C-alpha cells in the first residue's frame, strides 16, 4: 500500500508494524537504521523501494488480494488503510491493510514468489502481524498470501502471548533508545 500524507502524519514518531521485524530478527544494521530514522539523524537514508519488483508487485495486487479474501469468506472488510494507535501507548501504531469484523482482527495481504514453504513466509511476517494484533488489541489475524500466480491462501494467525510479550518488550526498549537518543544494541533473533 502506498501511504497517503495523512497516514504518514499519523505514523510519524511511532513504531509501526511494518518496521518491527528487525527487532525480532536482531538485525543490528536495520535496527540502527530504524533508530536513525526515528531520531531524525541526518545520516539516515530511506530505502528506495520504487524499483524493487516484489514490493511493487505486492502494492499492485493488494486490492485484488483483499477483494478475493472478501469473496472467499463472504465477509466485508473494513478499516482499509486505517492507522491504529495503541490505546495505552501512543508510540505504537499499525496501518491496517484491512479489518475483518467477524474475527475480529486485522487482515494482512502479501504477494510472495512462491518458492519457499508457506511456513517460512508466515514466520517472516509474524512480527508485523503480531504488532497489528497488539496495537488493535485483537486475539487473531488473517494472513492472505498470493504465492506466485496461485489463488491466495488464507492463514489464521492466533495471538501468541509469549511472542507478543517479547515483541512488545523489544519495542519498548527500542523506543527508550529513541527517547534518550541512545543508539540501540540488537537482541538475539527470536
Q: Could you report the per-residue pLDDT of 21-79, keeping only the tens digit for each?
A: 999 999 999 999 999 999 999 999 888 999 999 999 999 999 999 999 999 999 999 99
State residue 177's pLDDT score: 97
pLDDT tens for 131-178 read 999 999 999 999 999 999 999 999 999 999 999 999 999 999 999 999
pLDDT tens for 94-144 read 999 999 999 999 999 999 998 999 999 999 999 999 999 999 999 999 999
State residue 58's pLDDT score: 92
**Residue 4 pLDDT > 90, yes or no?**
no
What torsion do the CA atoms of 127, 181, 7, 80 make, to the nearest 10 degrees?
10
Cα-to-chain-centroid distance, residue 24: 12
Residue that is written with C-alpha cell 497488539 in the block: 134
DSSP codes, the chain: -PPPHHHHHHHTTSEEGGG-HHHHHT-HHHHHHHHHHHHT-TT------TT-HHHHHHHHHHHHHHHHHHHHHT--EE-TT-EEE-SS-TTEEEE-SEEETTTTEEEEEEEE-S-S-HHHHHHHTHHHHHHHHHHHT-SEEEEEEEETTSPPEEEEEE--HHHHHHHHHHHHHHHHHHHHT----PPPP-
Amino acid at each position: 500500500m502506498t501511504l497517503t500524507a495523512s497516514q504518514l502524519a499519523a505514523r510519524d514518531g511511532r513504531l509501526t508494524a511494518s518496521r518491527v521485524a528487525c527487532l525480532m530478527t536482531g538485525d543490528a544494521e536495520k535496527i540502527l537504521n530504524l533508530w536513525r530514522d526515528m531520531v531524525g539523524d541526518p545520516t539516515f537514508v530511506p530505502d528506495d523501494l520504487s524499483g524493487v519488483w516484489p514490493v511493487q508487485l505486492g502494492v499492485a495486487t493488494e486490492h485484488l488480494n483483499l477483494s478475493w479474501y472478501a469473496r472467499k469468506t463472504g465477509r466485508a472488510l473494513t478499516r482499509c488503510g486505517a492507522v491504529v494507535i495503541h490505546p495505552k501507548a501512543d508510540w505504537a501504531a499499525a496501518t491496517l491493510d484491512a479489518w475483518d469484523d467477524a474475527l475480529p482482527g486485522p487482515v494482512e495481504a502479501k504477494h510472495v514468489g512462491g518458492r519457499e514453504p508457506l511456513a517460512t513466509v508466515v514466520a517472516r511476517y509474524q512480527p508485523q502481524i503480531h504488532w497489528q494484533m497488539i496495537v488493535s488489541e485483537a486475539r487473531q489475524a488473517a494472513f492472505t498470501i498470493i504465492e506466485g500466480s496461485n489463488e491466495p491462501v488464507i492463514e489464521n494467525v492466533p495471538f501468541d502471548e509469549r511472542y507478543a510479550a517479547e515483541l512488545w518488550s523489544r519495542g519498548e526498549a527500542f523506543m527508550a533508545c529513541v527517547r534518550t537518543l541512545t543508539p540501540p544494541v540488537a537482541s538475539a533473533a527470536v
